[in-house]
């Protein structure tokens, strides 16, 4: 198999799966699944799906998610990817898309409306199409709501193919062009999980672990399943847990991280612990991945080929080959003369109090640097009765009390930015990808 996805010329359809049918597609404790067997599963499941325009893929098993996603695409259906699989989020997505149904890989105590469960033993169908229109709307991703209300973003198959070519270039040196193995801890419903654990195996010579390992021991066992070192796609929260677990891990081909800023110290610790490169990628649900860096050694990001950033008063416009039109992000970037850039926060994160300026991202980094603080966030609360938006913080700091944390912050913070409210908790309300939905954090101060 070639590691290069050839651009698609004018044609009726584009293949769902690249590569030789005999080549590995997925692996796990039960062995290796070929690309040909995967397609037989996809064809058979597609024939059983309900008639609908939209499907919500709730499969926990990554292989079954892939089967369901491709089966829906073959039926001309669009997969909805809510930021959460919580019943309320699923119901909201169904309400916004009347007639949609849900796909799952096991029975549920409280199944959502129009729930279609995949059979315990996947059927096979040898003949049938495995191409879809290049302009097919295959997915709609929803932002996490970490800065407000979730938003919906359409994803077409030709855009996914182009962004996957760029991601292959971003992973150069970590993947074997003749065939690689991948273990992911991020759910496939998240856009990062979609890009690296769904599209890479579909469109490149990459075989993905069939499950979704979560605890360190599960991750270690999954990394030991393939016949060669695997690439680990994970998040900063998961990476810290793996380092601190003390579990034994086999050699890795590399580590890729996304969904939240990766501290340099954590990246360096991971490289020392696992003996491989940790490469961080930058992207969003709106844009997909568009930059990379080796965080243990550099602060600046390198844009992927064809990507251009254009600063604007309200953020930054991202131009990229896989985007039909520029996408404006709220992020503020400092552009270097060589084309690289550094993140300087978001417009909504910038604070100006008594003529002094700071950013919530910088304040959070300072909080996380306090010895004994393992997780935390600084935020600005909603306006009080006087219309004032107070600075607050939440921290996980075993062994420390509120006074000790504030005492450590006072020399680092300008007094006007010192949190007026500080909550110490056992764990922050992060979602499955490590993000912090703003509303969940605000609820800690109710």
Which are the contacts of 255, defined by CB distance < 8 A and separation ≥ 6?
231, 232, 233, 234, 239, 270, 274, 276, 277, 278, 279
Cα 154 from Cα 110, distance rounded (Å): 29
Of the candidates 186, 188, 189, 154, the one whose C-alpha atom is nearest the C-alpha of residue 84 is 189
Cα 31 from Cα 225, distance rounded (Å): 8
What are the pLDDT digits (tens) for 212-264?
A: 899 999 999 999 999 999 999 999 989 999 999 989 999 999 999 998 889 89
Provide the mean pLDDT of the chain.
Answer: 89
The predicted model gives 95-101 an average pLDDT of 92
Indicate the CATH number of 18-344 among 3.40.50.1820, 3.40.50.12780, 2.40.70.10, 3.40.30.10.
Answer: 3.40.50.12780
Name the token pair of 112: 């959502």
The yes-or-no verdict on residue 348 having pLDDT over 70 is no
Strand partners, 353: 356
The yes-or-no verdict on residue 140 having pLDDT over 90 is yes
Domain ranges of the chain: 18-344, 354-445
> Which pLDDT band, with edges at 50, 70 and 90, does 1 fall under?
very low
What are the pLDDT digits (tens) for 161-171?
A: 999 999 999 99
Of the candidates 206, 223, 131, 207, the one whose C-alpha atom is nearest the C-alpha of residue 167 is 206
Of residues 35 and 359, more confidently modeled: 35
What are the pLDDT digits (tens) for 278-316?
A: 999 999 889 999 999 999 999 999 999 999 999 887 789
Of the candidates 89, 99, 109, the one whose C-alpha atom is nearest the C-alpha of residue 50 is 99
Cα 151 from Cα 155, distance rounded (Å): 13
Single pTM value for the model = 0.83
The count of other CB atoms within 10 Å of the CB of residue 302 is 18
On the question of a common fold for 18-344 and 354-445, the answer reads: no
Cα 210 from Cα 26, distance rounded (Å): 6
Strand partners, 441: none
Fold of 354-445: GMP Synthetase; Chain A, domain 3 (3.30.300)
The predicted model gives 346-352 an average pLDDT of 70
Of the candidates 66, 101, 60, the one whose C-alpha atom is nearest the C-alpha of residue 187 is 60
Amino acid 353: pLDDT:
74
The predicted model gives 103-130 an average pLDDT of 89
The predicted model gives 31-42 an average pLDDT of 96
Of residues 146 and 325, more confidently modeled: 325
Cα 169 from Cα 189, distance rounded (Å): 23
């Amino acid at each position: 198999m070639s590691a290069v996805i050839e651009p698609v010329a004018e044609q009726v359809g584009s293949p769902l799966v690249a590569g030789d049918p005999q080549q590995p597609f997925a692996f796990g404790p039960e062995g290796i699944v070929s690309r040909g067997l995967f397609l037989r599963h996809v064809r058979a499941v597609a024939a059983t799906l309900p008639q609908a325009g939209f499907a919500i893929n709730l499969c926990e098993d990554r292989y079954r998610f892939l089967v369901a996603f491709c089966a829906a695409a073959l039926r001309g259906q669009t997969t909805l990817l809510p930021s959460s699989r919580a019943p309320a989020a699923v119901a909201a997505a169904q309400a916004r898309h009347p007639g949609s149904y849900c796909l799952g890989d096991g029975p549920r105590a409280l199944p959502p409306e129009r729930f279609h469960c995949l059979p315990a033993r996947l059927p096979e169908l040898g003949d049938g199409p495995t191409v879809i229109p290049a302009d097919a709307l295959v997915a709609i991703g929803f932002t996490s709501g970490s800065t407000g209300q979730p938003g919906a973003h359409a994803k077409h198959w030709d855009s996914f193919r182009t962004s996957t070519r760029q991601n292959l270039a971003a992973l150069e040196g970590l993947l074997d062009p003749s065939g690689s193995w991948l273990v992911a801890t991020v759910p496939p419903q998240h856009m990062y999980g979609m890009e690296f654990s769904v599209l890479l195996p579909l469109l490149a010579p990459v075989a993905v672990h069939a499950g979704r390992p979560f605890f360190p021991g599960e991750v270690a066992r999954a990394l030991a399943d393939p016949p060669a070192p695997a690439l680990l796609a994970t998040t900063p929260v998961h990476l810290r847990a793996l380092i601190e677990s003390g579990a034994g891990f086999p050699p890795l081909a590399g580590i890729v991280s996304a969904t939240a800023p990766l501290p340099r110290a954590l990246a360096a610790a991971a490289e020392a612990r696992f003996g491989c490169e940790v490469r961080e990628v930058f992207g969003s649900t709106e844009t997909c991945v568009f930059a990379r860096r080796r965080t243990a050694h550099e602060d600046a990001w390198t844009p992927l080929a064809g990507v251009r950033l254009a600063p604007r008063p309200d953020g930054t416009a991202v131009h990229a080959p896989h985007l039909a039109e520029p996408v404006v992000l709220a992020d503020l970037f400092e552009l270097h003369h060589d084309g690289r850039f550094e993140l300087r926060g978001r417009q909504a994160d910038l604070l100006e109090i008594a003529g002094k300026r700071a950013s919530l991202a910088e304040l959070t980094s300072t909080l996380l640097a306090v010895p004994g603080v393992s997780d935390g966030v600084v935020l600005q609360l909603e306006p009080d009765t006087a219309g004032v938006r107070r600075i607050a913080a939440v921290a996980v700091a075993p062994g420390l009390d509120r006074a000790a944390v504030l005492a450590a912050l006072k020399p680092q913070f300008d007094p006007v930015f010192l949190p007026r409210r500080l909550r110490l908790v056992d764990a922050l309300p992060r979602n499955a990808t490590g993000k912090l939905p703003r509303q969940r954090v605000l609820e800690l101060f109710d």
